[in-house]
Amino acid sequence: MKAYVFPGQGSQFVGMGKELYENSDLAKKLFEKANEILGFRITDIMFNGTEEDLKQTKVTQPAIFLHSVILAKTLGDNFKPDMVAGHSLGEFSALVAANALSFEDGLRLVLARALAMQKACEKEPSTMAAILNLEDEVVEKICSEIDGVVVPANYNCPGQLVISGSVKAVTTACEKLTEAGARRALILPVGGAFHSPLMEPAREELAAAIHQTQINAPICPIYQNVNAKPVTHPDEIKTNLIAQLTAPVRWTQTMQNMLTDGATSVTEVGPGKVLQGLFKKMDRELEVASC
């Protein structure tokens, strides 16, 4: 069975999508439509901007989404997934690629999500940290014992869990997790505490936009971040999508479930190769690819 997966924030690079734009009429048409919807030429920033330009909130998330979705659209009949999933932001790309969301609605939601998250980040100093080589249960227990907001945010693969919360609580957690045996507890260069309770204002704002958006049954099951389970019902997809901003990304569990359910190959659609690497850590024999 073929699984297609879509990357999240952090996979952007200068020049992303340029080759697609230049070599495909469909891609060019979709990129120009995106410029129109966004109200600025995101293609100029993606193709010729600086790394700093690409890091702007209103640019990063739509840029990764566009690269992934337009790449999937140009595959045409060659895009035949038996299952899809996306890491955080990538869930929106997966939904559009699987025809649950229209291209236009997906892009509008991604922009709304990016701006809502930026606003939430500005309300309280917050951050995230990567914890390496420690059991998930140990990380969960230590986080639960710390005063202030700090929670597991991204279950990336066994031995790699990202925590999220207020600067003070995350710093304290890093000290205690290092004492507990973590090989590294590394503060990440991010704008705020994604996938934590501090994103509640953004969740509320995005919920209103998602409720007003048409979501259809996808062409195959989508394994959603909040429960790592295959979902096809539009109402359930909406509920999970709204919960995603304040809930952890259960990517480890998603990969386990996709493999258990019969995935024999995994293709990463979009910039970077991070997700392929994570799948390889789960199963060294697994066939992985980029497109």
Task: Kindly compute the dihedral angle of the four CA atoms of residues 274, 276, 282, 286, in this order, to the nearest 10 degrees.
Answer: -170
pLDDT score recorded for residue 284: 92
pLDDT in tens, 254-271: 999 999 999 999 999 999
At residue 284, φ and ψ (nearest 5 deg) are: -65, -25
To the nearest 10 degrees (0 to 180), the angle between helices 103-123 and 200-211 is 160
Superfamily name and number for 2-122+197-290 = Malonyl-Coenzyme A Acyl Carrier Protein, domain 2 (3.40.366.10)
The neighbour count for residue 265, using CB atoms within 10 Å, is 14
Query: CATH number of the domain at 124-187, please?
Result: 3.30.70.250
Phi-psi region of 174 (alpha: psi -120 to 50; beta: other; left: phi over 0): alpha
The residue ranges of every structural domain in the chain are: 2-122+197-290, 124-187
pLDDT score recorded for residue 124: 86
Catalytic residues: 88, 195
Confidence (pTM): 0.96
The residues with which 231 forms a beta bridge, in sequence order, are 222
pLDDT score recorded for residue 160: 96
pLDDT score recorded for residue 56: 84
pLDDT score recorded for residue 291: 84
Cα–Cα dist 149/164, whole Å: 8
pLDDT score recorded for residue 10: 86
Tokens representing 219?
């062409």
Cα–Cα dist 66/70, whole Å: 6
What are the helix (H) ranges across the chain?
18-23, 25-38, 42-48, 51-54, 57-74, 90-97, 103-123, 136-144, 167-179, 200-211, 234-243, 251-260, 274-282
Can you list the residues of the chain whose pLDDT is less than 70?
A: none
